[in-house]
Structure 1
């Protein structure tokens, strides 16, 4: 995707309060990236190189990736990992898969094996402890997959212990309110891609807009050819930080860009610092 259509890379920095975060983990730094869609069309090599450089410059304790590394064909993952192997962090790189990483029957295994070959650990309904037992990291199966069963994973956790959850689709936050989630990291929405300042993602008004356009006109507008309103139920969680009940959710706008491009919604690398008041 040409930079004129995607916009320049934005580095978002925020501090997230984690109740009961142990003193040893105060100031822990996370880098979050999502939705690369590395297929030769939706992400330029220059932006990918820049995103990796930004991540390394942050000197993170942990790099977290939340899915959609490819678009449909999984084979570009083998070129992508040649770039991602340059990611640096103290405690490793962890990932979950997105719906596009499951497009074909072979996709899950191929994408997972490629990431594993460069020591990026893919969590599929699994719990890991890269920062120690005092802050578990949960990676869930994609929300649209048949294996999205958070109960089986979340019930293994002690509700008195803080945790971080990786889940590609932010709609999962609605279900995850049943458990303690101190920070859920998601992607999937691309931030809505086309955003009107003070109003929000245009896609929130998709159905109303489509009804008012002649059918012949709709065919010529790429953004309206597919029902983008079905990407998520909760478009109000399209990007940024949200409280969902007592849980905390952050949605990354992603690096890849679909046609017709982005407007007031730049691609993103997120740097998160954990603290406890």
Structure 2
């Protein structure tokens, strides 16, 4: 299968966090997402390059925001061996995406494989890898019946800064009920096909769809298919956004789907926390 490919991009961000402890200023976080590791949708060369870039950044923390596999869970064991090469001062934390829950045994297989190599999977949990002054919240996938942010968010003191890992950026709508200093998501692959000056094809289709009466949708072929269903909010398809008072960053991911990527390169995100 020949896919349209783009070279790997490293995106550097300075993220302001209200009330950030002086001890945590300039903390470096690397985010990776959407590996779709199955021998077809992510090349070994690209994965090796992403791991090398992450290690060169020398992050304090690495976060992985889901979709480690595409369908069957078993490629996770080979991917986990590769991810063992990642280096981080305070550890590696992950959440699962919709593809990681595809089969009844997917969640346990993927969680166990990642845990075995020292990657902590958060499922409606809070961790403090950088100390008590910054919470790291990990949520189940937005489409999972276990998605219940109230269960976790209401455990936190309102004055505690927090970063939330949530695979699907649509969850940002729900999370407006709480303080979220930074939400890190993936899922969209950035739209994969981007037309310069216009935007991603899924965003364009979604915007067009909203202006067409629903009874006409079945008669317009490009309004059907998977893209309109991937997310509701294609305006958050990639990059940094404000959702109410909360910041959301959407990583374009490393893996892809046919036909591949065009003007939408795979991404490693390097984040520096500032006051």
TM-score, normalised relative to structure 2: 0.94
Report if the CA contact (8 A) 2:203-2:237 is conserved: no
> 1:213: how far off?
11
Aligned residues: 269
Unmatched 5+ stretches in structure 2: none
Against the structure 1 CA distance between its residues 246 and 40, is the aligned structure 2 distance closer, same or farther, given a 3 Å change threshold? Answer: same
For 1:187, the equivalent position in structure 2 comes to 186
1:64 and 2:89 are equivalent in the alignment: no
1:176 and 2:175 are equivalent in the alignment: yes
Aligned partners of 1:133, 1:90: CA distance in 2, in Å? Answer: 16
Aligned partners of 1:34, 1:82: CA distance in 2, in Å? Answer: 17
Aligned partners of 1:6, 1:43: CA distance in 2, in Å? Answer: 10
For 1:264, the equivalent position in structure 2 comes to 263
Aligned partners of 2:198, 2:218: CA distance in 1, in Å? Answer: 21
* Partner SS for 2:11: strand
> 1:224: how far off?
7.7
For 1:30, the equivalent position in structure 2 comes to 29
Larger deviation, residues 135-144 vs 4-13: 4-13
Larger deviation, residues 190-199 vs 161-170: 190-199
> 1:197: how far off?
1.9
Report if the CA contact (8 A) 2:238-2:249 is conserved: yes
Within 5 Å, which residues of 2 pair with 1:114-133?
A: 114-133=113-132
Against the structure 1 CA distance between its residues 181 and 213, is the aligned structure 2 distance closer, same or farther, given a 3 Å change threshold? Answer: closer
* Partner SS for 1:30: strand
> 1:161: how far off?
1.1
Larger deviation, residues 85-94 vs 202-211: 202-211
Unmatched 5+ stretches in structure 1: none
Superposed CA offset, 1:149-205 (max 9, x none): 000100000111110000000000011011000000000000000111222111123
* Partner SS for 2:113: helix
> 1:5: how far off?
1.2
**Greater than 4 Å deviation, 4+ residue runs:** 207-215
Against the structure 1 CA distance between its residues 214 and 140, is the aligned structure 2 distance closer, same or farther, given a 3 Å change threshold? Answer: closer
Aligned partners of 1:204, 1:11: CA distance in 2, in Å? Answer: 23
> 1:226: how far off?
2.6
Superposed CA offset, 1:64-117 (max 9, x none): 000000000000001101100000000000000000000000000000000000
Aligned partners of 2:197, 2:126: CA distance in 1, in Å? Answer: 39
* Partner SS for 1:242: strand
Superposed CA offset, 1:97-148 (max 9, x none): 0000000000000000000000000000000000001000000011000000
> 1:214: how far off?
8.1
> 1:227: how far off?
2.6
Within 5 Å, which residues of 2 pair with 1:228-267?
A: 228-267=227-266
> 1:212: how far off?
9.5
TM-score, normalised relative to structure 1: 0.93
